[in-house]
Amino acid sequence: MSQLELDPVTAPVSPPRRAGRRARTSAFWLALPLAVAAVAVFVLPLTGLLPDGGQNLDATRQPPAFLAGGSWAHPLGTDKLGQDLLTQFVSAGRLTIVIGLVGALVAIGPGTLLGLLAGYFRGWVDRVISILIDAQLALPFILVALAIIANRGSSLPVLFLVLALTGWAVCARVTRAATLAIRERQFVVGLRAAGASEPRIVFRHILPNLAGTIVALGTLQVGTAILVESALSFLGLGVVPPMNSWGSMLASGQDELSQAWWIAFFPGLAITVLVLLVNLLGDALLTHHDPRKRRR
């Protein structure tokens, strides 16, 4: 055959791959405001700059400062008991962010573990885990979640249980597929041939290779967790008084829509912006890790 494969000199230079660097830069610019917001909700209460959060029945349902009738004493206005909404907003944001992070961890942890096991050991382990993944992805588990809450009542542990139950499967599916691919790669075959122990292969060699994907999935899961939490808290099934999250602020704002719409407006806007940034960041990380596997 006369296949022509020669002359590197005349072959045009292929353009340098910049996609990776660009994704890294955009990830940084997305992560920055998130970090600032996270620090702000924890630091602000310590500064003493926030208005007093107590009741004041002389100043109920005050609009935010930039509307007619508002004042800078209460930048975001007050609720029906005259409590300052900015103070509530900051402390609720703290809980929302914590729930988002922990909620993602409790979903990603078991998801990764099960995906690794299924992908590495295959056989019946894989079959059982795959059926569970399919069942989870094919069934309305939000209803099951509601049933659990009906059963056990609303509390943070129950909320995390629900977040874990609803979130693990996506991560497990991706990890399983990636593990299946990696275990056939030369270095793993070599390790097995050299007699490395299986836990060592799985956790010291395969897991680090998946780290990028898992971090990206975990980031996206933070957004999902915050949205699920806000919906449950809105229905009075997630975070309930005396604790406060942005979702539960929406619940108290629901009854006040006609008189004081701003009570619900700012927490909802904050959730939207936060989740949007988290999703953009997750997409950027996923693209950076593997440009072909963008989230659908």
Binding site for other proteins (CB under 8 A): 1-7, 10-12, 15-16, 18, 131-132, 134-135, 138-140, 142-144, 146-151, 223, 227, 230-231, 234-237, 247, 250, 253-254, 257-258, 261, 264-265, 268, 271-272, 275-276, 278-280, 283, 294-296
User: 171 or 270, CB closer to other proteins?
Assistant: 270
Kindly give the interhelix angle for 141-152 and 156-182, rounded to the nearest 10 degrees. 150
User: 103 or 206, CB closer to other proteins?
Assistant: 103
| Residues with Cβ within 8 Å of residue 274, at least 6 apart in sequence | 34, 37, 96, 97, 100, 223, 226
Place of tokens 């806007």: 269
Q: C-beta of 250: minimal distance to other proteins in Å?
A: 6
Q: C-beta of 214: minimal distance to other proteins in Å?
A: 21
Helical ranges in the chain per DSSP H: 19-47, 85-121, 123-138, 141-152, 156-182, 186-193, 198-200, 207-234, 246-254, 262-289
Q: C-beta of 175: minimal distance to other proteins in Å?
A: 20
User: 211 or 257, CB closer to other proteins?
Assistant: 257
The DSSP-derived string for 272-291 is HHHHHHHHHHHHHHHHHH-T
User: 163 or 201, CB closer to other proteins?
Assistant: 163
User: 84 or 283, CB closer to other proteins?
Assistant: 283
Q: C-beta of 198: minimal distance to other proteins in Å?
A: 28
CA distance 230 to 224: 10
With 0-12 / 13-18 / 19 or more C-beta atoms within 10 angstroms meaning exposed / middle / buried, residue 52 is exposed
Q: C-beta of 268: minimal distance to other proteins in Å?
A: 3
User: 182 or 220, CB closer to other proteins?
Assistant: 220
Residue 106's Cβ-side half-sphere holds a number of Cα atoms within 13 Å equal to 18
Distances (CA, A) of 69 to 37, 78, 177, 233, 295: 28, 12, 58, 30, 46
Q: C-beta of 265: minimal distance to other proteins in Å?
A: 7
Q: Are 246 and 271 in contact (CB under 8 A)?
A: yes
User: 116 or 250, CB closer to other proteins?
Assistant: 250
Q: C-beta of 211: minimal distance to other proteins in Å?
A: 24
